[in-house]
Chains A and B, each alone.
Chain A
């Protein structure tokens, strides 16, 4: 039977590339995002590639009351969830968060609170089913706090801890929790930045992510070389990291 896929943040550039792969395999989707027009554009694409869109919903994920009813609706439309993917996020200007508590809070809500709240609800659904894959897009930014983006980085570090805990909770079951950690990737989120040597495109990293989800890889760096880079950065003494322009 074809896979049933529930997606939070379906309009993300990285996520869409991964969804294309499921669509080619004939997957059925329930798509959640916050912009109905963008969601429709993604849905058209997935259908044209051979997927089936069984439902969609658009709301801001800071609208806390919506999560439970929407997930319930998705489960009803899909029957059950084989793959749940949580991909949404925003990348604030670090300097702006330093002078604005509102910007800091928005960053926490977009990248941490809404992600963990949704992930917790999805985990509960998979626990009921007894099987399924739960994949969340974190980031290499969570591996070490750095002055250039620690507000955003902290949310990703929080997600890492949350997912590690979920992996413990589900060990020995048929539920797999996959932590996806992309490095710098060209997408709408980063369109305004200069793209240098270490940058990937969403198309470059999508096949690896798709594989990692299917295999249930606990922590997937995308591309893999980021595992080594971040290991080195984690091992550097604090005084050195403070001096680096990162």
Chain B
């Protein structure tokens, strides 16, 4: 049982498979606690209950009802978004929000209130959840929605698995007429150009940018801005592949992602990206989930694992903060090759602890080089905190309790909805006395 960053974390005491949605929770020792585990695609320690009981939802993957007319799907929480797409795309439906990997569960998508490239137009995943059923440690099964148990619903969306086990959920789907995307790429130099592209792309449903952090010091930041929408006249409703193409078989002791590989990779990637001028049509899978074609790509970072860092910076301070962050990345000489920049919109999620908020989000990754990497990320935290921003728990393994408290003020009202018998390594870390 591990998380995607493959960082060394203490193992859970036991893992229990949940086979059926109507089963009661297992017995629990006085000092023990529960935590659900989906596909472990969170990068840090939020999906790990070190020394506790982990409830695996891999067998909770049955559909309950699919209204193909109205586009409403109800299913068990361990169904993956990939499995859902395999089913719904041929029928002319799509998920309203998808993260950068389809190998995540419905329960995980709700518990982290995940966002996609359409946050500016569609909000988070939680905005499209009609209702969910929880199983609490006292044996009750509250049904939660905007109208039933509304507080518990708001706490569970983005609730990091701490309000109980999500057993099943009902979500709204998005109608599509093709499995293809209409995509445009545009190279940009400097953050002003990025901002201009973001503004003029407001009527595109999906936007995202990749930036080259390895460009030499003193040069302006360059990147590829990409925008897309579901094609109106694309060909067919093929759901695509259900699994990855190839797999990284094992992790080497050292990271294959380092400054010698990242520089050339970024140059080629930029060159290839800027060549694709004009509009092209692309199947939804390579567009949304480019990394999913290589199973276990996280092993490329070697046996010591890696850190992801994703923050959001509010509109008033974003430009300065982004420049400061990118300056620090370059100065550190630590390589990051999956650097993503995206504009969040102002559609509010019902979730109390949701990460997305209006502003600019930046995601970076770094091979784990121990204290050197931790110091770098601590320096990022200072910039983000000064800017009034937040760090994403789904990707975090190290933020301080203070950092968490300052970015998630709703945590006080959240606490009233917690299930006393659910906990995680992340939660114990950020709740440690400050």
Contact = CB atoms under 8 A, between A and B. Distances in A.
Interface of A: 13, 16, 24, 37-38, 41-42, 44-45, 48-49, 188, 191
25 contacts: A13-B19, A13-B59, A16-B62, A24-B87, A37-B20, A38-B20, A41-B21, A41-B62, A44-B62, A44-B63, A44-B64, A45-B62, A45-B63, A45-B64, A48-B63, A48-B64, A48-B65, A48-B66, A49-B63, A49-B66, A188-B19, A188-B59, A191-B17, A191-B19, A191-B59
B75 interface: yes
B260 interface: no
A58 to B, nearest CB: 14
Nearest to A11: B20
B20 A44 contact: no
A45 B64 CA distance: 5
B14 to A, nearest CB: 11
Contacts of B65: 44, 48
B416 to A, nearest CB: 33
Among B17, B20, B62, B65: residue with most chain A CB under 10 A: B62
B66 A37 contact: no
Nearest to A202: B59
A45 B22 CA distance: 15
Contacts of B21: 41
Interface in B202-225: none
Nearest to A38: B20
A57 B280 CA distance: 53
Nearest to A45: B62
B75 A41 contact: no
A131 B63 CA distance: 32
Contacts of B64: 44-45, 48
Contacts of A16: 62
A54 B19 CA distance: 25
Interface string B99-142: 00000000000000000000000000000000000000000000
A21 B73 CA distance: 19
Contacts of B17: 188, 191
Interface in B44-84: 59, 62-66, 73, 75
Nearest to B18: A191
Interface string B307-333: 000000000000000000000000000
Contact of A42 (B22, B59, B62): B62
A41 B59 CA distance: 12
Nearest to A44: B64
Given A44-B64, A44-B65, A37 B22 contact: yes
A191 B15 CA distance: 10
A60 to B, nearest CB: 18
Nearest to B17: A191
A6 B21 CA distance: 25
B87 A49 contact: yes
- Scoring A16, A41, A42, A48 by chain B CB atoms within 10 A of each residue's CB, the highest score goes to A48
Contacts of A41: 20-22, 62
Contacts of A44: 62-65
B250 to A, nearest CB: 12
A16 B19 CA distance: 13
Contacts of B19: 13, 188, 191
B12 to A, nearest CB: 14
Contacts of B20: 37-38, 41
A48 B59 contact: no
Contacts of A37: 20, 22
B83 to A, nearest CB: 9
A44 B30 CA distance: 37
Nearest to A201: B58
Contacts of A191: 17, 19, 59
Contacts of A13: 19, 59
A191 B73 CA distance: 28
Contacts of B75: 48
Given A16-B62, A48-B64, 19 more contacts: A24-B87, A37-B20, A37-B22, A41-B20, A41-B62, A42-B62, A44-B62, A44-B63, A44-B64, A45-B62, A45-B63, A45-B64, A48-B66, A48-B73, A48-B75, A49-B63, A49-B87, A191-B17, A191-B19
Nearest to B64: A44
B19 to A, nearest CB: 5
A48 B66 CA distance: 5
Nearest to B86: A24
A38 B20 CA distance: 7
B35 to A, nearest CB: 18
A217 B117 CA distance: 46
A118 B98 CA distance: 46
A13 B75 CA distance: 17
A171 to B, nearest CB: 36
A191 B66 CA distance: 29
Pairs A-B, 8 closest by C-beta atoms? A48-B63, A45-B62, A48-B66, A191-B17, A188-B19, A45-B63, A44-B64, A41-B62
Contacts of A49: 63, 66, 87
A44 B66 CA distance: 9
Specify which of B20, B63, B73, B75 lies most central, judged by the most chain A CB atoms within 10 Å of its CB.
B63
